[in-house]
A and B are shown apart, each in its own frame.
Chain A
């Protein structure tokens, strides 16, 4: 790159360097308009708003400095919603990774109909959270839900699945695993297919059994893929809103109230945009910390 630009400079006058480079920059102009208006700009503006008591409908917007962040630190509801969200995300990511890995390892063996299975496992992922919520609200309904029907059929006591504190987050997680495990499944499958077969062949010749080859070859070689899945899944499930909003409205007694539900209430029901903004930055900070932890424990390069 340095060499070409050096040459260009030597050619000299007929076409100035900036004229030659201008079209290259022009390719970027449309994107950077959007980038500034809807991504970079809002990030900065959002922080600015978080420094005010910013009720969008009131003319008076008093400056608070870091007052909103102080309030956030002392806000029990924020910590409660965060606790619920972390619990939900951890259960969901855990469930997704385990089920995704389980299914992909088996599908990789190409059983008869493996393409149909691959197709089916990913199907719920293409649904809207609204559809997912509407269906699963029926499945877990206390009085006439599918689950209670089958639970009753095998002679177990029926439960208020979404109406009891001890069940509600696990049930929401289970629903979300049903909805999203197809994604980690496919990514794991890609990772598995990317592991060169001769490694397994060599191991087999050395007398390594299947379980050992799974724990000693497959898992270590899947580490980068796992990191990718865990990081992106945590980010995605920390933002959980639709499942709760449709299926439980945060109940019973706030035990499924998530951070983004709280953000929605504060921002669009109480119109406290300033505090809502500081909530969003609080969530961003938590996500960043969790991402760094993930990198710390799952990061590192892998050699084939």
Chain B
């Protein structure tokens, strides 16, 4: 019963004893980096702090995050962190709603691609203080990604990690198909050839064999997590295309590059049968049950692989190049930020937690997400790790972040719906492309 009619316990505390401690807390010195520094800063904090934290880390990485928060609370026993886990879809609806309601959480973990949308809507407060006075070094982040979280010259939060997609390869299945796990395909022809050996019907036939029964497939060659966005972006980027142009004025979905990418995806699903129709298909279940050769999934799969005892049978592949121009892997970053309208005490607690998490990037890497701090990324143990090391170097080599836009959710929604209609054969490729182009252009024109 924390909140009745909008009055939270935190506000109540603030009204009673909290005021005095707040006044004291104003003299908190900037928190230097490192664990021991936390102890020193603690006495000046209010006696009891609550931090309401919203995030969508509901995948395998959520486990590590909750452990981290637990560790933080142990080290700072005057702070209670109320984690609220939402699906990202609902998260992206509820965060702005809570700012509208004037009752936002104290802290959120959002994505780097969303900053362009939060900025003009004042959903997040400027986070200069973290860098100016709380010891987070500005130059310890990948410059391009750091630049992405700025709005009107100010960073709107602190980067937590770098994450994105990569390939999890079932070694046994690949070897059974007569392929070499150490020799990934390097172009489209090789990709299709190799993958064709990995799809099997119940009689053990490949799609290229005579008598192959596409209604009776028991093992798919590969699957791409969250097909509608990440895989499609990778597909078009690898072709040299994109959804919108750089200044966000022109939709470029009806370009040859994007059309070709979508058509190729359609072929992979419906003609080559390398990839299941991505509706009602569980990639997790299939990979776990050894009925999927290559899972192109998120870096946050590390816990899932470990907990399912799949480490020994899994090897890492960079996202293969099946496009025509260059290899690209989708990447993004989690951003820790403080919403507009958070009260002073909440801001204080959230700030402390953000700095702590930023410093504990190596612990967060246990989830599979390489740290955002370059100094931490260079850690040798991390670099040598089969999972995190490979993901980290992949992002540095071929990682690419999404184009930002003030209405990115709407743009994503538009092309995702149309691409899904194509892949489920509700629309043809040219219909889907034309429609997506029209819808995205309409969003861009509206703000011009």
Contact between A269 and B413, CB atoms less than 8 A apart: yes
Q: Taking the complex as formed, is B417 at the interface, i.e. its CB lies under 8 A from any CB of chain A?
A: yes
Q: Mark A153-193, 1 if CB is under 8 A from B, else 0.
A: 00000001011110000000000000000000000000000
In residues 211-265 of chain A, which contact B (Cβ within 8 Å)?
Answer: 250-255, 257, 265
Chain A binding surface, main DSSP class: loop
A56-B100, A76-B435, A160-B279 given as contacts; is B120 within 8 A of A254 (CB)? no
* Chain B, Cβ-Cβ closest to A160: B280
Q: What are the interface flags for B65-108 relative to A under an 8 Å C-beta threshold, 1 for contact and 0 otherwise?
A: 00000000000000000000000000011001101100000000
CA distance A252 to B97 in the complex (A): 28
Q: A254-B417, A254-B426 are in contact. Are A57 and B280 (CB under 8 A)?
A: no
Is the Cβ of B121 less than 8 Å from the Cβ of A165? Answer: no
Interface presence of B122 (CB below 8 A) = yes
- In chain B between 262 and 299, which residues have their CB closer than 8 angstroms to a CB of chain A? 277, 279-280, 282
Of all chain B residues, the one with the shortest Cβ separation from A67 is B446
Establish whether residues B280 and A162, one from each chain, have CB atoms under 8 Å apart when the complex forms.
yes
Which residues of chain B come closer than 8 Å to A77, judged between CB atoms?
417, 439
Q: How far is the CB of B411 from chain A (nearest CB, A)?
A: 10
Q: Which chain B positions have C-beta within 8 A of A268?
A: 93, 97
Indicate whether A278 reaches chain B with its CB closer than 8 angstroms.
no
Q: Confirm or deny: B424 has a beta carbon within 8 angstroms of a beta carbon on chain A.
A: yes
Q: How far is the CA of A55 from the CA of B406 in the complex (A)?
A: 12
CB pair A163–B100 under 8 Å, yes or no, is no
User: In the complex, what's the smallest C-beta–C-beta distance from B425 to chain A, in angstroms?
Assistant: 8
Q: Decide: B279 and A163 in contact? CB cutoff 8 A.
A: yes
Mark contacts of A253-288 with chain B using CB atoms, 8 A cut-off: 1 yes-contact digit, 0 otherwise: 111010000000100111110000000000000000
Query: Which residues of the partner chain B approach A163 to less than 8 Å between Cβ atoms?
Result: 277, 279-280, 424
Q: Is A142 interfacial (CB-CB < 8 Å)?
A: yes
Q: Per a CB cutoff under 8 Å, which of B280, B410, B427, B438 touches A142? A: B280
Task: Out of B121, B123, B407, B426, name the residue touching A255 (CB < 8 Å).
Answer: B426
Which residues of A lie under 8 Å from residue B438 when comparing CB positions?
76
Q: A165 contacts B92, CB within 8 Å?
A: no
Q: A50 in the interface, Cβ–Cβ < 8 Å? A: no
A-side contacts of B50, CB under 8 Å: none
**Chain A nearest CB, measured from B167 CB (Å):** 25
User: Once the chains bind, are B407 and A270 in contact (CB under 8 Å)?
Assistant: yes
Q: Which chain A positions have C-beta within 8 A of B99? A: 57
Closest Cβ of chain A to B255, distance in Å, is: 21
Chain A 42-73 interface 0/1 with B at a Cβ cutoff of 8 Å (1 = within): 00000000000101111000000000000100
- Tell me, rounded to whole Å, the shortest Cβ–Cβ distance linking B370 to chain A: 30
Q: Which residues of B contact A53 (CB under 8 A)?
A: 446
Beta-carbon contact of B417 and A269 below 8 Å: no
Q: Is B420 an interface residue (CB 8 A)?
A: yes
Give the distance in Å from the alpha carbon of A202 to the alpha carbon of B435 in the complex.
Answer: 64
Known contacts A57-B121, A162-B280, A253 near B407 by CB under 8 Å: no
CA distance A271 to B277 in the complex (A): 32
Nearest 5 pairs between A and B by C-beta? A253-B421, A253-B426, A57-B121, A252-B424, A163-B280
